[in-house]
């Protein structure tokens, strides 16, 4: 179809902001760090193409261990979040009615409108040596000296699970919402136990929500910075911290860019794998959330 020049110009003008946005803020910057990650310093202020930054990652145990640890803990956090959130989502979607339902969902949303840092501050005040839990434990006589609950893996996992819950509950509840009560009834009538009905009917039906929730929680967890650093302290060891250290503290941008590419790769790989295993597309998945 031939278009009039005026129409073409209008289309071009309408497209311009999107192209500027995606080009200048997304595509070119990523090309830049890709190129940067393959450059190595051969002399002061002179850089050449090379794989040294990636080799450095594989030869320095601190780097790849932190990477593996981040990946592993993120998967653990995602699984924990799913297990914790499922009964809540099921209750909101299937049991609660009318006002109670709206109320429960709203109460879930509220804490997540508040800054991540405020939530982390709350956990720090609860868990640290001079914090509320330690104080209560001493007050009731369960401990005779201050208890440090912060700066360990448990605290990091707790903080990350807390931060991920909403992003799991909402897609789960949306998916469970559409489950026909009659189907569940039929399952019971055919002699299925609670467990069988849950495993054979409810969970398969919720699968799109489960995938969407897991992908979002995993992405947020892997890319988190403040929670592991603040709740884990020196023991936090999160990969984003390594990127920050290379970029801001050591000013070794090529190395930091290589780390950034690796994090992007990890995050995209898991998202792709999750979508592939369940045969869903990114668009529908994001819509679930």
Please report, as residue ranges, which positions from 1 to 60 form the binding site for another protein (by CB under 8 A): 11, 14-15, 17-18, 21-22, 24-26, 28-33, 36
Among 113, 142, 145, 277, binds another protein (CB under 8 A): 113
Among 130, 141, 189, 191, binds another protein (CB under 8 A): 130
Q: How far is the CB of 135 from another protein (least distance, A)?
A: 4
Q: How far is the CB of 198 from another protein (least distance, A)?
A: 9
Structure tokens at 78: 């995602």
Q: How far is the CB of 231 from another protein (least distance, A)?
A: 10
Distance CA 160, CA 220 (A): 9
Question: Which one of the spans 49-57, 61-69, 206-214, 247-255 is the region binding another protein (CB under 8 A)?
Answer: 247-255
Q: Which of residues 185-244 bind another protein (CB under 8 A)?
A: 194, 197, 219, 222-226, 229-230, 240, 243-244
Exposure string for 87-113, b = 16+ CB within 10 A, e = fewer: ebbbebbbebeeeebeebbeebeeebe
Distance CA 5, CA 9 (A): 6
Question: Which one of the spans 43-51, 60-68, 72-80, 249-257 is the region binding another protein (CB under 8 A)?
Answer: 249-257
Q: Which of residues 141-170 bind another protein (CB under 8 A)?
A: 162, 165
Counting every residue written for the chain, the total comes to 289
Helices (H), the chain: 5-20, 28-37, 52-59, 61-90, 98-113, 116-127, 132-139, 153-177, 181-189, 194-197, 203-222, 226-232, 239-244, 253-278, 282-288
Q: How far is the CB of 209 from another protein (least distance, A)?
A: 17
Q: How far is the CB of 162 from another protein (least distance, A)?
A: 8
Residues 163, 224: contact at Cβ < 8 Å?
yes
Nearest Cα to Cα of residue 273 among 193, 209, 196, 219: 219
Residue number with CB closer to another protein (206 or 219): 219
Should residue 81 be labelled a site residue for another protein when binding is judged by CB under 8 A? no
């Amino acid at each position: 179809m031939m278009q009039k020049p005026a129409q073409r110009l209008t289309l071009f003008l309408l497209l311009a902001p999107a192209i500027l946005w995606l080009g200048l803020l997304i595509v070119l910057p990523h090309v830049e760090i890709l190129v940067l990650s393959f450059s190595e310093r051969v002399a002061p202020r002179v850089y050449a193409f090379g794989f040294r930054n990636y080799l450095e990652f594989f030869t320095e145990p601190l780097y790849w261990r932190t990477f593996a640890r981040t990946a592993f803990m993120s998967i653990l956090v995602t699984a924990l979040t799913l297990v914790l959130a499922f009964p809540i989502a099921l209750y909101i979607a299937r049991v609660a009615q009318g006002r109670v339902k709206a109320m429960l969902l709203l109460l879930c949303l509220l804490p997540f409108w508040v800054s991540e840092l405020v939530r982390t501050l709350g956990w720090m005040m609860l868990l640290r040596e001079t914090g509320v839990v330690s104080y209560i434990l001493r007050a009731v006589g369960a401990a005779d000296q201050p208890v440090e609950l912060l700066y360990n893996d448990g605290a990091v996992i707790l903080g990350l699970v807390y931060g991920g819950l909403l992003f799991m509950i909402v897609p789960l509840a949306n998916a469970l919402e559409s489950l026909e009560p009659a189907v569940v009834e039929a399952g019971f009538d055919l002699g299925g136990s609670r467990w069988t009905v849950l495993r054979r009917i409810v969970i398969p039906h919720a699968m799109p929500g489960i995938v969407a929730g897991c992908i979002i929680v995993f992405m947020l967890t892997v890319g988190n910075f403040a929670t592991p650093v603040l709740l884990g302290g020196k023991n936090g060891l999160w990969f984003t911290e390594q990127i920050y250290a290379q970029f801001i503290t050591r000013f070794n941008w090529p190395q930091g860019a290589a780390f950034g590419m690796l994090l992007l790769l990890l995050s995209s790989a898991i998202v792709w794998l999750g979508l592939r295993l369940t045969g869903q597309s990114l668009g529908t998945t994001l819509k679930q959330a």
